[in-house]
């Protein structure tokens, strides 16, 4: 006892004063577990608590409870939380905003390279300058870790094959042949894998690039999706 909340030293007083570093590490671990579970990787939560416990000299159980507080914040935002870490709502009034802020930052980091860029494009579109921007002759490089799903090649091949070279959305023939001599169509998951969709023929369709982009970015994407579910007997709503 007797240390300031921002002390951050391993011996800082218990429950009352979590340092930013502790909260940040806990949130980073939480997001990591969530990402791992999302892609179906093996996760050892107890091990994570032990590692945090060793680093910060707080009991493993304290980290588990803190993670349940994180679940509570996510739940309040209507975002998915980690299975088995039931939202625990008794968060200190002064800690909740800190968790919220750090959590937003952690998720922002995850999405940075795509969403932030697109959001910025939208801002620029609203105020297009008269003069062409200089851009960058040699754009800086950034390293990013991409978490992705293991997809079944047989499913993709089967769906492409059964489309007979026609877009299953608009019915038009594939826009061109590939170098391998196949009609070029793209495979789309009606319910995205990221939101828990399956990689099966009943959730997958072969479509032209225009329809594909439209299903991802079109204002009428929802209507299109409903229409596809009605017209393609193979598809099952997930
Ligand atoms: Zn199409
Ligand atoms: Zn898609």
> How does pLDDT run across 17-52, given as a tens digit for each residue?
899 999 999 999 999 898 888 777 788 999 999 999
Is pLDDT of 154 > 70? Answer: yes
| Interatomic CA distance for residues 129 and 144, integer angstroms | 31
pLDDT digits (tens, 9 = 90+) for 60-104: 999 999 999 999 999 988 888 998 999 999 888 889 999 988 887
**Is the CA virtual torsion 98, 101, 107, 108 positive or negative?**
negative
Q: What is the pLDDT of residue 52?
A: 94
| Interatomic CA distance for residues 36 and 147, integer angstroms | 8
| Interatomic CA distance for residues 51 and 29, integer angstroms | 10
Residues with CB under 5 A from ligand 1 (ion): 167, 169-170, 208, 211
CB atoms within 10 A of CB 182: 13
| Interatomic CA distance for residues 176 and 178, integer angstroms | 7
pLDDT digits (tens, 9 = 90+) for 226-236: 999 999 999 99
The answer to whether 200 touches 155, Cβ cutoff 8 Å, is: yes
Q: How far is the CA of 212 from the centre of ligand 2 (A)?
A: 6
Contact partners, residue 101, CB within 8 Å, separation at least 6? none
Q: How far is the CA of 222 from the centre of ligand 1 (A)?
A: 15
Q: Is the pTM of this model over 0.85?
A: no
Can you tell me whether residue 61 is helix, strand or coil? helix
Q: How far is the CA of 169 from the centre of ligand 1 (A)?
A: 5
Domains of the chain (ranges, CATH numbers): 20-111 (no CATH), 153-231 (1.10.30)
Which ligand sits closest to the CA of 165? 1
| Interatomic CA distance for residues 14 and 23, integer angstroms | 13
Q: Where are the alpha helices (DSSP H) in 115-184?
A: 117-126, 153-162
The answer to whether 116 touches 100, Cβ cutoff 8 Å, is: no
pLDDT level of residue 146 (50, 70, 90 thresholds): low
pLDDT digits (tens, 9 = 90+) for 96-145: 999 988 887 787 677 655 566 777 777 777 777 778 888 888 777 765 55
Q: What is the pLDDT of residue 73?
A: 92
Q: What is the pLDDT of residue 17?
A: 87
Q: How far is the CA of 195 from the centre of ligand 2 (A)?
A: 12
Q: How far is CA 232 from the centre of its chain?
A: 28
What values do phi and psi take at 183, rounded to 5? -65, 135
The answer to whether 206 touches 186, Cβ cutoff 8 Å, is: yes
Q: What is the pLDDT of residue 26?
A: 96
Q: How far is the CA of 33 from the centre of ligand 1 (A)?
A: 38
pLDDT digits (tens, 9 = 90+) for 183-228: 999 999 998 876 678 899 999 999 999 999 999 889 999 999 999 9
Q: How far is the CA of 150 from the centre of ligand 1 (A)?
A: 26
């Amino acid at each position: 006892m007797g240390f300031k909340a921002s002390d951050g030293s391993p011996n800082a007083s218990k429950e009352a004063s979590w340092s930013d570093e502790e909260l940040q590490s806990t949130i980073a671990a939480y997001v990591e577990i969530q990402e791992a579970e999302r892609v179906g990787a093996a996760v050892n939560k107890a091990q994570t608590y032990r590692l945090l416990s060793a680093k910060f000299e707080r009991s493993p159980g304290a980290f588990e409870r803190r993670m349940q507080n994180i679940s509570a914040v996510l739940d309040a935002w209507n975002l998915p939380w980690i299975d088995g870490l039931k939202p625990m709502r008794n968060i200190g009034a002064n800690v909740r905003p800190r968790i919220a802020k750090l959590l937003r930052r952690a998720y922002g980091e995850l999405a940075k390279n795509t969403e932030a860029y697109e959001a910025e494009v939208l801002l620029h579109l609203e105020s297009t300058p008269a003069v062409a921007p200089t851009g960058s002759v040699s754009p800086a490089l950034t390293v990013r870790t991409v978490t992705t799903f293991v997809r079944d090649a047989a499913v993709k091949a089967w769906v492409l094959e059964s489309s007979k070279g026609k877009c299953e959305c608009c019915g038009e023939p594939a826009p061109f042949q590939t170098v391998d001599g196949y009609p070029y169509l793209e495979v789309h998951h009606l319910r995205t894998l990221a939101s828990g969709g399956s990689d099966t023929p009943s959730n997958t369709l072969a479509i032209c690039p225009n329809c594909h982009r439209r299903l991802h970015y079109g204002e009428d994407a929802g209507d299109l999706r409903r229409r596809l579910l009605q017209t393609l007997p193979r598809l099952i709503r997930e």
